[in-house]
């Protein structure tokens, strides 16, 4: 089989087991792997479940439906085991976390920074800035740990 970069559109479509119009549509996608090898393109296609129903027969459609049912069941099991968190839960928690971070940054920079560096040299001010940064990192790490625990608990109770 020729190398991917020397293949014609016809040959590439045949190698991917799709039609030329389908190939053109895939190439318009934002995640199309430009410059990828044929093996990488096949992996890209398979990861996204593209081109699975080749003939449109009832058997192929049933097989696709069964595959999707299995994927859905796996997702539900993952969520029940705490491996998956609902998107809405994550969005709510991230919004709350960003509000807390904004408040923390304002407190540290607008209230604490001035008095902490007043009368100090630039080197001493840099040290104080580093200490403030460490304090911010510590608070963020604690909030992220709490976020993970709360998000998983909240997602599990919404089932």
- Where are the chain's structural domains? 1-51, 53-84, 87-157
The predicted pLDDT at position 1 comes to: 46
The predicted pLDDT at position 56 comes to: 54
pTM: 0.40
Residue 121 has pLDDT above 90, yes or no: yes
- The SS3 of residue 3 is coil
The predicted pLDDT at position 6 comes to: 66
Model confidence at 137, in pLDDT bands (50, 70, 90)? confident
Half-sphere exposure of 30 (CA within 13 A, CB side): 0
Report H helices in the chain: 9-16, 20-27, 38-47, 58-80, 87-106, 113-117, 122-157
Residue 155 has pLDDT above 90, yes or no: no
**Chain segment 76-114, per-residue pLDDT in tens:** 887 777 666 777 878 888 888 888 888 888 888 888 888
Residue 15 has pLDDT above 90, yes or no: no
Residue 53 has pLDDT above 60, yes or no: no
Residue 157 has pLDDT above 70, yes or no: no
**Chain segment 17-43, per-residue pLDDT in tens:** 888 888 888 899 888 988 889 899 988
């Amino acid at each position: 089989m020729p190398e991917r970069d020397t293949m014609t559109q016809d040959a590439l479509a045949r190698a991917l087991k799709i039609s030329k119009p389908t190939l053109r549509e895939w190439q318009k996608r934002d995640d199309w792997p430009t410059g990828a090898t044929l093996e990488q393109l096949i992996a890209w296609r398979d990861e996204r479940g593209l081109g699975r129903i080749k003939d449109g027969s009832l058997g192929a459609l049933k097989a696709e439906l069964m595959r999707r049912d299995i994927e859905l069941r796996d997702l539900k099991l993952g969520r029940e085991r705490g491996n998956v968190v609902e998107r809405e839960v994550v969005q709510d928690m991230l919004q709350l976390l960003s509000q807390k971070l904004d408040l923390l940054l304002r407190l540290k920079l607008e209230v604490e920074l001035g008095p902490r560096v007043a009368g100090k040299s630039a080197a001493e001010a840099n040290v104080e800035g580093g200490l403030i940064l460490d304090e911010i990192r510590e608070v963020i790490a604690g909030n992220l740990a709490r976020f993970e625990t709360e998000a998983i608990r909240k997602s599990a109770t919404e089932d």
